[in-house]
Structures are given as C-alpha cells and as structure tokens.
Structure 1
C-alpha cells in the first residue's frame, strides 16, 4: 500500500497554497492525497460562532472546497479527506508514521506562521517521522489554483549536507528522488565553519587549512557517489565553502525550487529541536523547505 501525501488545510490562502503544492507532488509521485483538518484547532479569525457543531460544519466546508478545487485540476488524483477533533499538532505527528510526505502552509516571510499557529508547525516539524515540507502563501510554484501560472519543472533542489557521510543519506535520497521527478538538478552544499574554527579543526587533525578544505571536498564527493550512480540522469553540483551554514545554504537557494535540510531524530515524542540551519531555511528561504528526519 502506498502511503499518502498529507496536507493540512484550514480555509486560509496559506493552507490552500500548500494543498495545491501537495496535490501536484502527489500526482507526480503517483501517491494518494489526504486533506486534513482539525476542527478543534482552527484559526483565531474564523468568522463563526464557537459552538462545536459550527466548528465541525466549517471544517467540513473547508475540506469540501479544497477537494473540489484540487479535483478540478487533478481529476484522476486519489483524494480523501479527514476531519478530526484531536489537536492538530499531535494528530499530524501521529499521521506522519504512515505518511510519505507531510505538507504544511506558511503565511509569509520573516516568521514561521503555519496554516494554524507557528507553534503547531514547529512542533510537527520537530517530531514528524516523515519528510515534512512547508510552502509559503504566494509561492508561484504552488499557486496555480489561485490564478497564477504554474512554474515549469526544472531548476535546482538545494540540499544542505552538514555532515558528509551516512547521516546525509535520507536527505540525499529525498533530494535526488525529487530532482528526478521534476527534471531538476541537485545542488549539494557543505559549509565549513568560519575561518578561525576551521583552522583549529585543521590543526587538530595535523592538516593545513587548504588540505582540510580539500579533505572535506573529497568527503562530500564520496557521499554523493552512490546517489550519482543510482540516479545517473540527475545533474549534480557540489559546493564546499567557508561560512555560517545557514547563510551559505540561503545564498545557494536564491533560485532554488526546493531546499532540503536535516533534523536529527529524538528519543522522546515530547521533546523536539530544530537546528539553526533548519530555522534559517524555514524563516528565509524563498522556496518550499523540506525537513528530513535522520539518525
């Protein structure tokens, strides 16, 4: 059984933009799409009375509207809806166990305002067991359903490789698969710490700075090698440079189609933490951002 692409909708433009992006991704990946709404966790500006039956009715209407719009464009898409009473954050985390891809909406640049509340998106991004993508309202690549022309496939999938080696494999698998599906190239970015720290690392390893940098390039190339072999038709660009990892990644993502970053798994379902690179991408990247859990 194919696990679905799941997207949260709440009637806002941000949620619907995410739904359009998710529908296109589900169609390309040939996966079913599940539209999700929590009627107990609705936006504060929902123009309805607070009685439970009105909230449920609003949730049904949101799902029906979104379903009709998506099926109008993707008529052969396998689409189902799910209205729940559980808090949105926990329900989405629970769904992530059997989900291929989870998609969340974000209201705009400068803050991670989710399709519901910023804290909900952060909670889900920090604990989801599957790749999770945030899509901003206004993203031209996703807003075909809002009267914008769809952006054609192509461009770059920018992936931040913080630590070359096996830990990067889940990120690279997602990046290469996405690139193949969309006719894009993979741009793998590895940032070395700022100069003073690099020199300390190099000296501790008995290397000159130049040799240390060369060794890191070799490590990145070796990490990418099996993925190049598995996806021979996907063009690949590599970049190793010195600087703050978040800034380096954002600079590379200026014209990216998707940014892919990692997030370490956590032993507890009650605690989560996103690193500074993931935060930088989620707050400032000009395109959708995929957060991939890894060991």
Structure 2
C-alpha cells in the first residue's frame, strides 16, 4: 500500500495518469475455465477484482486530481509488469521487510526480475518508506565511475528534485583504491570531485533550477549510499543497460540499497525521458 500511495503522489506531482496493475498467474492458466465450471473459480475471480477495486479506490481518495485506471492482467508478475510499463515515466513496485526482501532478491524474484528487465525507471518502495516526503527534502544521486552528464539516472534525479522543489545531493563513494591514489596532503581526491562535477555540471543545475550539492564519502558504495539516504525522499541509482536489458545484472550496491535504504529507490538505466511522449503513465 505504501508503493501505491507513493505512485499516486508521484502521478499528482508530475501531472500524469496512474495505471494500477495486478498480475495473476491464476487468471492466466485457470481463470476462464474455473469461472465457467466451478463456484471456486467465481470466488477467486471476485477476490482478484476486489484487490484491484480497493487499490483504485485508495488511489482516487488519496489523489482525486489524478486519472486512475486499474486492471488485472493474466501472467507471471515479471512479464506482466515489464510489458505493462513499456516506456512509461516509471514503474513503481513494493517490497516487504528484510526477510521477505531476501526471498524477493533470489533468482526469478519479482523485484530483481522486473528491475533487470524494465524499459523504464523502476522505483522500489519498502515498508519503512515514509508515507509523506521527509522534512529534509533531498534527492540523493549515487554517482559511480563512468557516470556522465545527460545519463538517464542524472536526468531522472534532476527531474525528481525539480518536481519536489528540493536539493539534489550527488554522492560518490571512494573505494580504497581511489584513496591510495590520492596525492599526499590533498585530502579528498580531486578525481572524485571532478567525477561529480562531470556527472552533474553547474550548467545542468542552472537549467533545471535545482540546487546541487556534491559529496565524496570514503568507503564502499554499498555502505555509503544507504547511509547518505537516511533522511532523503528518494535515492537514485544507475544501472547498466544493453539493448534495453541490464548488463551483468544488479550489483552489490543495488542489493544493499534495497535492503537498507529507508527511502524509496529508483533504478534507472533505460533511456529517459521516455522516447514516446504518449507513453506517460506512472505504473
């Protein structure tokens, strides 16, 4: 329900419609037959409809200004969500506490499976995510080696900060190797600061109207980024895509953030904004 609330708020924030999808394996393989021949089928179909009807009513009550459409689609959740999202503005999914999350992150799980196949940014909202944005009002952008201005995750993070009217904090976690390469007596690595400036240049900040802070943290990214996001509205991380698919899967940094970040996490890799302007739903 927190994911649903977050998606409704996001749709209102960006002036976009909200499409709510419930994937049903039962509906795909047994729905039509059982509904026709057995009372249990009708009961199951009614239960599915109740789930989606309640979700739609909740979203409408929370954000009356948002156009909402809800439906049950037959099929495996990963396939249904990936195809339903298309090249939408974003795909929002929920996850439960740490023990359930570990199951979700296993091979074939919904969260990791959708994240590795989605054609649009995927936002994961956990049970611990605040119901409303925090008072700190920050969007955190994790900047790794190779991140460039204009990359999808940078554009998405700037857009989210702009929509919220809050600051963007670009964070780079320095590895031990980077620290060993620092010239003596210079403190934080000039290379790390240059990396942050290249990823989110002053020009991009001015054009978006977003105040950008750049922060270098010593330590592994899978520890530093969740810590940096303790009081943030959103943590944005990049993923490597090749032909619309994540290359080499999610890294330990992504898994650590999904386990430990107290705020929603956006995994961005496919081209953004969406290439087709008409495909603008928040799923």
Please report the TM-score for the alignment, with normalisation by the length of structure 2: 0.80
Which secondary structure state, in structure 1, belongs to the residue aligned with residue 66 of structure 2? coil
Conserved 8 A contact 1:97-1:130: yes
Shift in alpha-carbon separation, 1:269–1:181, aligned structure 2, 3 A: closer
Equivalent residue for 1:248? 224
Per the TM alignment, residue 267 of structure 1 is displaced from its structure 2 partner at its CA by 4.5
Conserved 8 A contact 2:239-2:246: no
Per the TM alignment, residue 257 of structure 1 is displaced from its structure 2 partner at its CA by 1.1
Equivalent residue for 1:101? 90
For residues 270 and 166 of structure 1, the distance between their equivalents in structure 2, rounded to whole angstroms, comes to: 18
* Unpaired stretches in structure 2, ≥5 consecutive residues: 28-37, 272-283
Which secondary structure state, in structure 1, belongs to the residue aligned with residue 75 of structure 2? coil
Residue from 135, 148, 168 that aligns with 1:166 = 148
Q: Does 1:198 align with 2:140?
A: no
Please report the TM-score for the alignment, with normalisation by the length of structure 1: 0.77
Equivalent residue for 1:264? 240
* Unpaired stretches in structure 1, ≥5 consecutive residues: 1-15, 43-48, 142-149
Shift in alpha-carbon separation, 1:158–1:60, aligned structure 2, 3 A: same
For residues 41 and 184 of structure 1, the distance between their equivalents in structure 2, rounded to whole angstroms, comes to: 43
Deviation digits for residues 49-100 of structure 1, max 9, x if unmatched? 9954433321111111111122123222111112111111111111232311
Deviation digits for residues 231-281 of structure 1, max 9, x if unmatched? 12x221111232101111122111111111111114486986101111111
Shift in alpha-carbon separation, 1:93–1:272, aligned structure 2, 3 A: farther
Shift in alpha-carbon separation, 1:51–1:286, aligned structure 2, 3 A: same
RMSD of the TM alignment (CA)? 2.9
Equivalent residue for 2:12? 27
Which secondary structure state, in structure 1, belongs to the residue aligned with residue 25 of structure 2? coil
User: Number of matched residues?
Assistant: 256
For residues 281 and 91 of structure 1, the distance between their equivalents in structure 2, rounded to whole angstroms, comes to: 25
Conserved 8 A contact 2:240-2:246: no
Equivalent residue for 1:7? none
Q: Does 1:208 align with 2:155?
A: no
Conserved 8 A contact 1:257-1:287: yes
Alignment of structure 1 residues 128-167 onto 2, 5 Å: 128-141=118-131, 150-151=132-133, 155-166=137-148
Shift in alpha-carbon separation, 1:129–1:68, aligned structure 2, 3 A: same
